[in-house]
Amino acid sequence: MSYDSQNIFAKILRAENPCNKVYEDDATLAFMDIMPQAPGHTIVIPKEPAMTLFDLSGAGAANLIQVVQRVAAAVKQAMQAEGIMLMQLNGAAAGQTVDHIHFHIIPGSMHNLGKHASSGNVADDLAALAEKISACLT
């Protein structure tokens, strides 16, 4: 299977679909999950077109994990979370639903984790959370 340039994350990268941006650099974008499993649920993606970790270049993987580390620290601080969950799924059999490599940063405990895609958040709430998390990046 080859990379689908019409997947939702590719469209977000091309600004064809909106997102509540938390962080962006030349190689990476972080934004709020529109169907969060917990308040502050953030997605981090590389700009490199790669479906899974195994398709991502070594340089892309190194940059991605550094940004995940930085954004996760900001999510933890902004949400005053005692813990942070990182989730990265590879392939449909593992539960990956968007064919573009991405990390989920979810504040809190897996014991209080909501079901993904079961409900969305109001755009205003996501925008406010994005601003709150972004402020902790500086």
Active site residue 102: yes
Does residue 19 fall inside a structural domain? yes
Q: Is residue 1's pLDDT more than 80?
A: no
Does residue 67 fall inside a structural domain? yes
Does residue 2 fall inside a structural domain? no
pLDDT digits (tens, 9 = 90+) for 118-129: 555 556 689 999
Structural domain of 93 = 8-135
Out of 102, 104, 111, 116, pick the active-site residue: 102
User: 36 by DSSP, 3-state: which?
Assistant: coil
Which amino acid is located at 15 in the chain? A
Does residue 111 fall inside a structural domain? yes
Give the domain CATH number at 38.
3.30.428.10
Does residue 3 fall inside a structural domain? no
- What domain count does the chain have? 1
pLDDT digits (tens, 9 = 90+) for 25-37: 999 999 999 988 8
pLDDT digits (tens, 9 = 90+) for 55-112: 999 999 999 999 999 999 999 999 999 999 999 999 999 999 999 999 999 998 776 6
DSSP string, 39-103: TT-EEEEESS--SSGGGS-HHHHHHHHHHHHHHHHHHHHHTT-S-EEEE---SGGGT--SSS--E
